[in-house]
Amino acid sequence: MARREFQGGVAGMAFSEEQIEGWLQRVLIPVEPSPQFVNRLRGRLVHVRGERGANLWTLVVVGVGLMLIVAAWMGLALRLILALIGVIGVYSHRRAERLPSRAAR
């Protein structure tokens, strides 16, 4: 038998699981993505990896740069504090020298 339609008129017809399998084999066929999509996605994945690498290096450079700036500022601040302490020291030394001479007079 070549064709047995199962429209309304032939209700109650039984089908075997092999027939269902045969239909599924013909219907669920492999589909291919377009070559453009495959190439584009490949490029994008490589780009993502490259970007990730670049981001890591950017972080390292920014981190090292920040450390250098902080160190430079700390050096300057330390020098200013030392200079201030020196000025205060000189001033108090002179004041201390002046006080005994007044007392002698």
Partner 1 sequence: MTDVPDLDLVRRAATEPEAFGLLYERHVRRIYNYIYYRTGDHHDAEDLTARVFQRALRHVGAFQDMGVPFSAWLYRIAHNLVANWHRDRSRRPVVPLEDHTVLTPGSQHPESLAMAREVGEDLLELVRRLPEERQQLLILKFAERLSNAEIGQIMGRTEGAIKSLYHRTLSSLREEVERMQAEGRGAGLEDREG
Question: Is 16 or 101 the residue whose CB approaches partner 1 more closely?
Answer: 16
- State the minimum distance, in angstroms, from the CB of residue 67 to partner 1: 27
| Interface residue list for partner 1 (CB under 8 A) | 1-17, 19-21, 23-33, 37-38, 41-42, 44-46, 48-50
C-alpha 28: how far from chain center: 41
Length in residues, the chain: 105
Answer whether 13's CB lies under 8 Å from 6's CB: yes
Q: Which is nearer to partner 1, 43 or 86 (CB)?
A: 43
